[in-house]
Structure 1
Amino acid sequence: MKIAFTIIISFLIFNTSFSQNKLGNPEVDPIQIQKNYEQWSVYQNKKIMLSRDFKALDVVSKEISKETFLDQLANGNFIPIRLKSEADIYVYKLFKILPKTDTSIKATINQIGFDAYKNYKMEGTAFPQFSFKDLDGNLVTNESMKGKIIVIKCWYIHCTPCIREFPQVNKLVSAYKDRKDIIFISLAEDSAEQLKTFLARKPLLYSVIPDMKVYMNESLQLNSFPTHFIINKEGMIAKVLPNFESLEVALVKESKL
């Protein structure tokens, strides 16, 4: 009996240890990463993609919903760290922000969490009604876009991150040029005249809609740029994304549905 009991205990310990190891260790030291704002910011921007699908863990490694995770980031005192895993698998865990941590880190995380939470809550809802004319005079409406996947980039001329990703989003348009069911539209705050002058120097392969500041502020309630939307064929918001890297991944997934 003693031998059997010992074997059972050893098996349970092994399984528990194996289960913990499967989650992986933090890819950076949660304490060290909090000591310097610049170092943390680089890590956050490159490694924490809150618009993607990910497994969320609380401070004791209990799995929680994405909504709860984002709410904790927006309103709590936590820093998100990615656990080591395969390249295309995302596991994020919450760690307590230490008392001596730069207050700018907490403030920035709260803002990032708020934006990500707001974007997440928009997913699965109907995209607001629209009737736009692009720079070429083409009319674009909810009705005319039925049965198509719509990729929308929201931006303005003086938004440096918006312009920086032009080459990447242009490549994305070219990659899907044979998909007649995928349409690329951009909403810009600027006037038609300003846009025509600007785009003559920096081309954008999207269909460009001018004078969209009020629509983006009031109907979409945007407060950060660029923001990308993927609208599914039923007119529902499939994804709201803050950068090209997340857009590229999400569009691959949506295009296969």
Structure 2
Amino acid sequence: MQNRIQINEQSVVKNASGSLLPYVVWRQMVGTGDYTLKTAPDFSPTSPVFVVVQRTPAEREQYLSQLPAPQESPFFMTGHTIAPFKLRDVNGHKFDSKELKGKIVVLNFWFIRCGPCRMEIPELNTLVKQYAGREDVVFLAVALDERADIQDFVQQYPYDYALIPAGRYVAQGYGIKSYPTNLVLDREGKVVFHAQYHPNMAYFLQKAIDTVP
């Protein structure tokens, strides 16, 4: 029945308690891959009502495994070297692309008010933990927001990448116009992966990292 009923911003969607959910809320929940929409008990073709249902870990893994790979972003080209950068994170640590030669660099361009950006942070944190023992893999999150705002944000929503504040000029320099944008650079600074939001982004980032010799 769901396949014949268009689900959009005007759709009636409830949570398990029967409370109505705004579009921005249920769309974000479904976008994580943790939840799906099912027809509610009071569903009818003339009055379609849906309920948000949480997937089990096995259901989520199966769902994500069936998703197509993310499309390449329009801002970078695989195999090309990106323009050099010099960045400083919120703790004052410096990152110079020339000094990062020989390392695999994972970059995330994001900003605090970006819903999809926030949705992928938990999975990106898991990715960082997977490579905790690898000094040759560096994770940098270039934010458009200012240092103080980022520090306030991570008090409630921890983000384990090295956080680069006030990075709007960096994103603009690369022509980035939509967020989040993720990319992986090989040891020579060449792009081996680049894409925008995807519910299974961490999987494809890991796959790209592991292909770098």
What TM-score does the superposition give when structure 1 sets the normalisation length? 0.54
In the other structure, the counterpart of 2:36 is none
Instruction: Give distance in 2, aligned partners of 1:34 and 1:205.
Output: 42
Structure with greater helix share of residues: 1
AA at the equivalent of 1:186: A
Instruction: Give distance in 1, aligned partners of 2:73 and 2:196.
Output: 12
Instruction: Report if aligned partners of 1:230, 1:251 keep a CA contact under 8 Å in 2.
Output: no
Instruction: Give distance in 1, aligned partners of 2:90 and 2:135.
Output: 20
Bigger Cα Rg = 1
The change in CA–CA distance for 1:191 and 1:135 in structure 2 (over 3 A counts) is same
215, 221, 237: which one aligns with 2:175: 221
In the other structure, the counterpart of 1:167 is 122
Q: CA deviation at 1:252?
A: 2.2
- Structure 1: 5+ residue runs without aligned partners? 1-32, 47-86, 92-111
Deviating 4+ runs (over 3 angstroms): 33-38, 87-91
Instruction: Give distance in 2, aligned partners of 1:170 and 1:180.
Output: 16
Figure out how many residues of one structure are paired with residues of the other and give that number: 159
SS at 2:100 equivalent: coil
Q: How does 1:175-214 map to 2 (within 5 A)?
A: 175-214=130-169
Q: CA deviation at 1:165?
A: 1.4
AA at the equivalent of 2:150: L
Aligned residues with identical type, % of pairs: 23
AA at the equivalent of 1:176: Y
Instruction: Give distance in 2, aligned partners of 1:237 and 1:222.
Output: 15
The change in CA–CA distance for 1:124 and 1:197 in structure 2 (over 3 A counts) is same
Instruction: Give distance in 2, aligned partners of 1:88 and 1:167.
Output: 21
In the other structure, the counterpart of 1:19 is none
How well do the aligned residues superpose, as a CA RMSD in angstroms? 3.1
The change in CA–CA distance for 1:88 and 1:198 in structure 2 (over 3 A counts) is closer
Higher relative contact order (CA closer than 8 Å, sequence separation 6+):
2
- Structure 2: 5+ residue runs without aligned partners? 9-26, 33-64
